[in-house]
């Protein structure tokens, strides 16, 4: 009888659970990228003082976690910064902390 070499590529329950956690983390990062884009876009119209920083934080977290939607996260980051720049410009034009149309 010949001894067989141990199978090193066999999926173990521990490896399968680790793979599931990685897929869940990437899926969460993808959701954060989409949310940052949507909130950044919405923040250009309303509540930019709140939605801008949230969009920036979500985009940064999604990029740090390695999202597959990198472009959407970068757009969310840019829109979050644009939210704050629009707020700053409108505050300077009105000479007040708030702005209105």
Q: Per-residue confidence of the chain (101 residues) as pLDDT tens digits?
A: 566 655 555 556 656 566 666 676 677 888 999 999 999 999 998 888 899 999 999 999 999 988 888 999 999 999 999 999 998 888 888 877 665 65
29 close to 65: Cβ distance less than 8 angstroms: yes
Task: Report CA-CA distances (Å) from 65 to 4, 45, 47, 60.
Answer: 40, 29, 27, 9
pTM (2 decimals)? 0.73
Burial class of residue 49 in the structure, from the number of CB atoms within 10 Å of its CB (0-12 exposed, 13-18 middle, 19+ buried): middle
56 close to 80: Cβ distance less than 8 angstroms: yes
């Amino acid at each position: 009888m010949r001894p067989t070499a141990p199978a090193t590529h066999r999926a173990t329950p521990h490896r399968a659970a680790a793979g599931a956690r990685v897929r869940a983390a990437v899926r969460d990062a993808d959701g954060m990228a989409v949310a940052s884009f949507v909130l950044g876009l919405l923040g250009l119209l309303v509540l930019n003082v709140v939605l801008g920083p949230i969009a920036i934080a979500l985009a940064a977290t999604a990029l740090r976690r390695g999202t597959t939607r990198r472009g959407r996260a970068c757009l969310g980051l840019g829109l979050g910064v644009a939210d704050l720049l629009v707020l700053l410009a409108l505050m300077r034009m009105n000479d007040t902390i708030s702005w209105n149309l």
